[in-house]
Every structure is written in C-alpha cells, then in structure tokens.
Amino acid sequence: MVSKLNSDEVLYFLIIVCVILIASRLLGEIFRKFKQPAVVGEILAGIIIGPSLLGSVFPDLFNEIFKSQARAYGAFDGLANIGVIMLMFIAGAEVDLKQIRKQGKQAASISFMGIAFPFAVGFLCIWFFHDFIFDVPSTDRLIPALFFGTALSITALSVIVKVLLDLNIIRTKVGSLVLTAAMIDDFLGWILFSIIIQMMNAKGDATATSVLMILGFVAFMLTIGKWLVDKILGFAVKYLTVPSGVLTAAVCLCILGAVFTEYLKIRGIFGAFLVGVAVGDSKHFNHHIQNLFQQFIINIIAPLFFASVGLRVNFITNFDISVVAVILGIACIAKIVGAWLGGRMSGLKRNESMAIAFGMNARGSQEIVLGMIALQAGIIDEKIFVGLVVMTMVTILMAGPLMKYYLELQLKDERKTGAGSDDGVSSIVMNSATNSLLSE
C-alpha cells in the first residue's frame, strides 16, 4: 500500500516551497539588478533561511518549518532534484553543435588548455596535499583527485552567456570563441565526471566496462539518438499542439534520458544533459520554444535547487578560511593561466586572451551540481563543499568586470597603434547605457 502525504505533510510541503521560492527569487532579482547572475542570490537565500543563519538565530522556527515534517521536506527534495535534471537539460540545449564544428579548431586550443591545465593542477594538488584539505587522511586519493581536477576545469556556460550579453560581445570573434570553448568544456566535463562516479561505484574490470558504457551512450546520443530525437520532435510538431506538444515531448525525452542513465548507475543529470544536446540540435526545438521552457525552469524550478544548497550545509560552522583560500587560489590560477595560454596559442592578443581567461574562469550551476553529487557520494566533506560554493560565487562575480577591463585595455592599445579591430572588440566602446555591468 502506497503511503500518501497526510494533510499536515502537504501543508508543510507547500510552506517549504513557498518560503524557498519567494526568498530565492527576491534575492535572485536583487543580484540581477546589479548585473550579476541570479544564481548567486538564490544560493545566498538558501544560506540565509537555512541552518547557517535562520537555524542559528531562530532554531525553533527553522526546525518547525523544515524539520517538523520529515516527509514534507523529502517531497521538496524530490522537487529540487527534478529542478536540477531540467536545468542540466537546458544547459545541454545551449550547446550548439554547429558552432562547435564551425569554430572547433580555434576554440579547441582554448578549451583544451582551459581543461587540461586546471585538471592537472587540481589533480596533483589533491594527490600530494590531500591531508591538508581533507579532515580525514586517506591513502586512496585517486577519486578525490580526479573529482577536483574535473570540478576546477569546467566553465559555466550559462554564466558566460550572461556576461557576453551584458558586454554586448556575444556575436564578436572573442565572444564566439569563449562561448564555443565553454560549450566544449561543459560537454567534456560531464563525461569526465560521469566516468569518475562510475569508477567510484565499480572495481576492477567493471571500471573499464562502465567507462565504455558511458562513451557508448555519448556516441549513441550524438548520432542515432540525435536523429531519433529530431524525428520524435518532428512528429510532435506535425500531430500535436505547438508549442505545448513539443515542450511535452522534450520534457518526456529529458526524463527518459535521466531514467536510462540512472538505471545504468550513471547520474540522471548526465542523461538529461545529453538529451538536451540532442534536442537543442533539432530544428523543431526552435528559439521561441526553448526560451519558453528556459524561462520557466530558470525562474521557478531551478531556484528551488540552488536555495536547497544552503539548506543542506551550515556554511558558518563548516567555513574554513584555509580550505576556501586553497580551493579559490588553485581554481583561479589554474583556469586563468590555462585559458590564457590557449588564447595565445589560438592567435589572440595578450589582453584578448586575458579577457577570455577570466570569462572561462567563471563557474556556476555545474560546479554546484557536481559538488552536491560529490557530497552525497562521500567524495568530499561539508568544508570542501562550502569551499567549492564560495569559489563558484567569487568567480561568477569577478568574470564580467575583469572581462570588460581587459577588453577596454585592448581597445586602448588599438587606438594608440591606430590599428582597427577585426574581431569586434571595438563593439564594446563603452556606452554605459548598454554595456556597463555596473549600472542599469
């Protein structure tokens, strides 16, 4: 007999959703007013109404809302997980395979160095200094080292899009290169992390089988699966109501992809991401339909997940300045140096390469999702998770202003030498009404 939520549990479930949604959206909008990604405000909302602040100042109120009905919070947790699956689907839909093919060669050097260098630095730092960062010493350092290498190498595609739009350079050569490199980073990063999760769950020969299974699923989704998704969406356009029918088909495909990868013992978000890549490549999932779905997910469902991050961990008791400093320092130095070298190797000028490096340094929802999964899987502890969240928020906040600063320097250099820009950098001639990240 299935046990349903009773009246009190339904009531508290609705209260939890209401409190979290209102708090996350209010703070998210405040950060948007300051030209910063709303995700920072949404995470901060969770910290404020979670055990870090509300739970410390008004413990009885916090316990009454979030702990008095355990099954009510469990239902909310399920809703938050749906949110992150849908968010990864949207992230996959933003990956433009045509643009990757078009600019793949030049963007590849930026992406490769932007992944390889921070991956190597993150891996080696944990391999040799594991006991300094982790509270519990361990001789088995391979999985934590692989996780850190992956977490520090991924760029937040959604944050990059926001920064490029604010700077009005998304259609320039520099903007397009950053966007394409971030797409490649995202794609490879999720493959790497799925392999790490499988390695943690499998042993011996099973590890090689798991890796081959993941790579096989990736190959399928980029070939036959992509074709099949396009046919299904075409059927929806022809025989169902548009756009609702196409949206329904896309959501069902997303959930089926998550179910399939979860069944294979790969995280469901990876399946949702790959299905999103296939759906986004279909001509039937046009910009209008994608925007409708994206607005609902980003503004209603995803904030529930990001706010829940602050509810899971006490950010005050688990804040360790040395751990935060090490993670932030390693993440920034490794990513900036790697992406800068990649930019120089691709033929970009010094200041353009610095602008790209700080853009690629922006982390975001992907790192939060990776951190949550790693925390639940026991790869990292609460202190390291807090360090990853702080690193994510700092790199988001610094990306836009520093990209703008180095592109302005590039523009000044061009004016001094009398050289025109052939890559659209001149399009950021600073009109504060349209290009400033610091004013409305």
DSSP H/E element including 21: helix 7-33
Smallest CA-to-CA distance from 250 within 225, 201, 284 is with 284
ω into 51 cis (within 30 of 0): no
Which domains, from first to last, does the chain contain?
7-89 (no CATH), 95-301+315-428 (1.20.1530.20)
CA 392 to the chain's CA centroid:
9
Give the count of alpha carbons within 13 A of 353, CB side only. Answer: 21
CA distance 149 to 125: 9
Helix-helix angle 224-239:205-222, to 10 degrees: 40
Whether residue 313 contacts residue 368, with contact meaning beta carbons closer than 8 Å, is answered with no
**pLDDT of amino acid 433:** 34
Tokens of 376: 């639940």
- For the chain, 440 residues long, give each residue's pLDDT as a single digit of tens: 557 888 999 999 999 999 999 999 999 999 888 877 788 888 899 999 999 999 999 999 999 999 889 899 999 988 988 888 888 888 788 777 777 777 667 788 888 888 889 999 999 998 888 888 887 776 678 888 888 888 888 877 767 776 776 667 766 777 778 878 887 887 787 778 777 777 766 554 455 676 777 788 888 988 999 999 999 999 999 998 888 899 999 999 999 999 988 887 777 888 888 899 899 889 899 888 888 888 888 888 888 988 888 888 899 999 999 999 999 999 999 999 999 998 888 888 888 889 889 988 888 767 787 888 888 878 888 899 999 999 988 988 888 888 888 988 888 887 887 655 445 454 444 443 334 333 33
Using the structure block, give the residue that is written with the tokens 């906040």.
397
**pLDDT of amino acid 166:** 63
CA distance 431 to 439: 11
Tokens of 31: 């950060």
Smallest CA-to-CA distance from 154 within 95, 83, 223, 215 is with 95
Smallest CA-to-CA distance from 285 within 242, 224, 255 is with 242
Which amino acid does the sequence have at 109? S
CA 167 to the chain's CA centroid:
21
Under DSSP, the state recorded for 425 is G
Smallest CA-to-CA distance from 380 within 371, 368, 390, 389 is with 371
Dump the DSSP string for 188-227: HHHHHHHHHHHHHH--THHHHHHHHHHHHHHHHHHTHHHH
Under DSSP, the state recorded for 419 is P
Under DSSP, the state recorded for 348 is -
**Rg (Cα) of the chain, in Å, rounded?**
22
CA 138 to the chain's CA centroid:
29
Whether residue 83 contacts residue 297, with contact meaning beta carbons closer than 8 Å, is answered with yes
CA 218 to the chain's CA centroid:
19
Give the count of alpha carbons within 13 A of 100, CB side only. Answer: 16
Give the count of alpha carbons within 13 A of 356, CB side only. Answer: 36
Whether residue 225 contacts residue 278, with contact meaning beta carbons closer than 8 Å, is answered with yes
Using the structure block, give the residue that is written with the tokens 């996780």.
147
Helices (runs of H) and strands (runs of E) counted in the chain: 19, 0
